[in-house]
Amino acid sequence: MRYFISFIFAFFLLNTQVSASEHSQGELFSSVTSIHAKDKFWLALHIKLQEGWHTYWRNAGDSGVAPEFKLSLPKGFIAGEPQFLAPDIMQTADMVDYGYNDDAWFLIPITAPDFFNDNSLLFSLHSRWLVCNDQCIPEQGDFSIPLATSSNKTEDMPANPNIVKVNELIAKLPESSGELNFSNKQGKIRFSFPVVGSSVKKALFFPITENFIKNDLIENVAINDNEIIFNFTQAQVKLPKNPSGVISLFLENNQRKDYQVNLKLGEVAPAASGGSYEILVAIISALIGGFILNFMPCVFPILSLKSLAIAKKASAHPDIVRGQGIAYTIGVVMSFVALAGILLAIKASGLAIGWGYQMQSPLFVALLAIFLFVVGLNMSGYFELPILLGNVGTKEAAKDNLIGSFVTGALAVLVATPCTAPFMASAIGFALTQSVAVIFTIFIALGLGMALPFLAISIFPRIVTKLPKPGAWMLTFKQFLAFPIYLTVVWLLWVLTREAGADGLAVTIAAMTLIAFALWLAGHHWRLLSLIITAISIYAVVEFAVPSLQETHEKFSIAKLEQLRKENKPVFVDATADWCITCKVNERLVLSSATIKAKFVQNNVVYLVADWTHGDQEITKYLQSFGRAGVPLYVYYPPNQPPVILPQILTEWELLELTR
């Protein structure tokens, strides 16, 4: 009778406190109706989420934050580590998070002591969790649950649907699957998971250990009859100790099985690589892509001029022409090998890379525009640049032209980097997922493909007989080829405007004008003054043409905001947090863009960052003043005008229109 009364008490007061807000509601449950000495049972926190909102797993991913639990237990009771069901993947732009939609369950194992005398015991839990949609809001709740005690384990207990649910969830926790070896080769993490007699449609790996692998959906998972092979990119140069994770297998019968695995660095397994057929296809694609690259506007004029120089002297100096062709080829191939080495080094650092990655640098774009502008002036006849024209004559000149041909090949690769020819993208994309040997082989093929036309003309002089005979038309053709170069310069200046703003464009055009003046002075034998002006021009570009690279934000405070308002300065306030995925996406795609940074610098907009990552009462009050309970919040204060609240999903266009 005493047991029955205690059970009825617990049954009706199973959840003595429920935490509820606009976006989530929490309840605390137990896996048992009564406790016996030395029992092991579970407490389960259920977070019911508003539609469209989500919360996070133990490893939140690129943003978000894991839930926190603080228990208050009766004397003698011991709590184990909270356990998590396998999560779902949530992706926004290139940000990947791990968590739960609709509802989330968090399970905590409890062990009872050998003795207790009370008829009913109270278990309390304080929890904090983050809910996110377009904005992220930290929430918390206090929960308690009374449980009856009994010394008799054989008494029947009335059915309780909540207890049934909790026990079903316990059975769904990831099953411990021991330890797996993983290899690490060139920053690629590889391991395999054995499967027997299961029809697996899909497999996912969720890293429990943060900063182990990149949280990237673009992963290489090979599902075979008896094993699943996982390949990931290493997140940091230094591997964390004792990494672990959860492997989720999705079977053909619509079932999901989850396994928790521990990983240790073991024998280096063979690196993931394409088969010989795929590698051969990539090499052929690279050859074709490199060949087509010659006909891009950035490269074609240079190749044409060298070909015309050969046509002019091939019959008189065939051996010299062959030497120049080989030197040009070596210059092209070595430049591609150097690019492959640079890409591998950058890849090892964990950055995303690809062909033309350097075009993301405003400084590189500005200097390349200046260089091509000088090449265009040369072609227009403004001055002579022997290294590009390839004058062939005496033996001494021939020696110089071997070096000149090598340098011309290297420069041809440099000016080709903004262009991507057909077949190139797939070949380079494939190469960057392969071993070092395959990467260098494919890049050498690119170089050979690009050098092939010039090499063929130089080695087989008879081809030259198919070209028009040298004459006055060559000068006209050379001048005509300057115009594709000028159009390339215009495109580069447009790119520079997007990256560094109007100020960067103005400084670069001014530098071009001064360099043209310096070349004119050199033609009138004022070489020293010409060098000084050129050096000053390049220095100005390096120093002033890329203001977007400067840090433009300051720490937020209400006092600072009020002071700036009194000074009639435009202010942009960014209320953000490291765990807010919408904030991070906006930062990556909009606020960190060179265009926006340059616009803020140009219009003297003061950029204040209100970092709410660890909580801040002043920022909380600021959010509440706009009726907000979470971040992000973006507010623009025009001079002498009311503040403008921006949408939580930002676009460059909106910010540019607002701050113009």
Q: Would you state the pLDDT for residue 313? A: 59
pLDDT band at 350 (very low <50, low <70, confident <90, very high): very low
- Alpha helix (H) ranges present in 417-526? 424-431, 436-459, 462-465, 473-523
Beta-strand runs (E) in 522-659: 553-555, 571-576, 606-611, 633-637, 644-645
The residue out of 265, 296, 316 marking a domain boundary is 265
* Domains in the chain, number: 4
Query: Does 410 lie in the same domain as 376?
Result: yes
CA distances from 648 to 178, 459, 625, 626 (A): 44, 63, 16, 13
Most confident of 158-167, 195-204, 408-417, 622-631: 622-631
Asked if pLDDT for residue 474 goes beyond 80, the answer is: no
DSSP states of 134-152 as a string?
Answer: SSEEEEEEEEEEEEEE-S-
Q: Is residue 594 part of a domain?
A: yes
Q: Is residue 188 part of a domain?
A: yes
The residue out of 524, 547, 570 marking a domain boundary is 547
Q: Is residue 70 part of a domain?
A: yes
* Rounded Cα–Cα distance for residues 620 and 630 (Å): 8
Mean pLDDT, range 307-315, rounded to an integer: 60
Query: Does 560 lie in the same domain as 470?
Result: no
pLDDT band at 634 (very low <50, low <70, confident <90, very high): very high
Range of weakest confidence among 149-163, 238-252, 493-507, 549-563: 149-163
Query: Does 303 lie in the same domain as 257?
Result: no
Q: Is residue 271 part of a domain?
A: no
Query: Does 21 lie in the same domain as 118?
Result: yes
pLDDT band at 195 (very low <50, low <70, confident <90, very high): confident
- Which of 184, 74, 90, 84 has the alpha carbon at shortest distance from 132? 90
Q: Would you state the pLDDT for residue 581? A: 80
Model pLDDT for residues 97-149, shown as the tens digit of each residue: 999 998 999 999 999 998 888 788 999 999 999 999 888 999 999 999 999 88
Q: Is residue 338 part of a domain?
A: yes
- Alpha helix (H) ranges present in 276-394? 276-293, 300-313, 318-348, 362-379, 386-389
Q: Is residue 270 part of a domain?
A: no
Q: Is residue 236 part of a domain?
A: yes
Query: Does 364 lie in the same domain as 342?
Result: yes
Q: Would you state the pLDDT for residue 44? A: 96
Other beta carbons within 10 Å of 78: 12
Mean pLDDT in the chain?
A: 79
pLDDT band at 173 (very low <50, low <70, confident <90, very high): very high
Query: Does 59 lie in the same domain as 95?
Result: yes
pLDDT band at 352 (very low <50, low <70, confident <90, very high): very low
Which CATH number is 256's domain given? 2.60.40.10
pLDDT band at 389 (very low <50, low <70, confident <90, very high): very low
Per-residue tokens: 621: 């009050």
Mean pLDDT, range 263-283, rounded to an integer: 66
Model pLDDT for residues 580-610, shown as the tens digit of each residue: 888 888 887 888 877 788 788 888 899 999 9
Q: Would you state the pLDDT for residue 6? A: 37
The residue out of 507, 529, 547 marking a domain boundary is 547
Mean pLDDT, range 222-228, rounded to an integer: 80
Q: Which residues of 484-515 are buried (b: 16+ CB within 10 A; e: fewer)?
A: bbbebbebbbebbbbbbbebbbebbbebbebb
Query: Does 575 lie in the same domain as 426?
Result: no
CB-neighbour burial class of residue 32 (10 A; exposed 0-12, middle 13-18, buried 19+):
buried
* Rounded Cα–Cα distance for residues 166 and 105 (Å): 9
pLDDT band at 165 (very low <50, low <70, confident <90, very high): very high
Range of weakest confidence among 12-21, 331-340, 367-376, 501-510: 12-21
Asked if pLDDT for residue 67 goes beyond 80, the answer is: yes
Q: Which residue has the higher pLDDT, 406 or 354?
A: 406
Q: Would you state the pLDDT for residue 481? A: 73
Model pLDDT for residues 232-266, shown as the tens digit of each residue: 888 877 788 889 999 999 988 888 999 999 998 87
pLDDT over 70 for what percent of the chain?
76
* Rounded Cα–Cα distance for residues 74 and 481 (Å): 86
DSSP states of 186-208 as a string?
Answer: TTEEEEEEE--S--EEEEEEEES
pLDDT over 90 for what percent of the chain?
27
Query: Does 293 lie in the same domain as 243?
Result: no
Query: Does 212 lie in the same domain as 119?
Result: no
* Rounded Cα–Cα distance for residues 517 and 369 (Å): 17
Query: Does 462 lie in the same domain as 368?
Result: yes
Q: Is residue 538 part of a domain?
A: yes
Terminal alpha carbon distance of the chain: 79
* Rounded Cα–Cα distance for residues 503 and 509 (Å): 10
Query: Does 360 lie in the same domain as 385?
Result: yes
* Rounded Cα–Cα distance for residues 271 and 299 (Å): 36
- Domain that residue 146 falls in: 2-171
Query: Does 293 lie in the same domain as 230?
Result: no
Other beta carbons within 10 Å of 201: 12
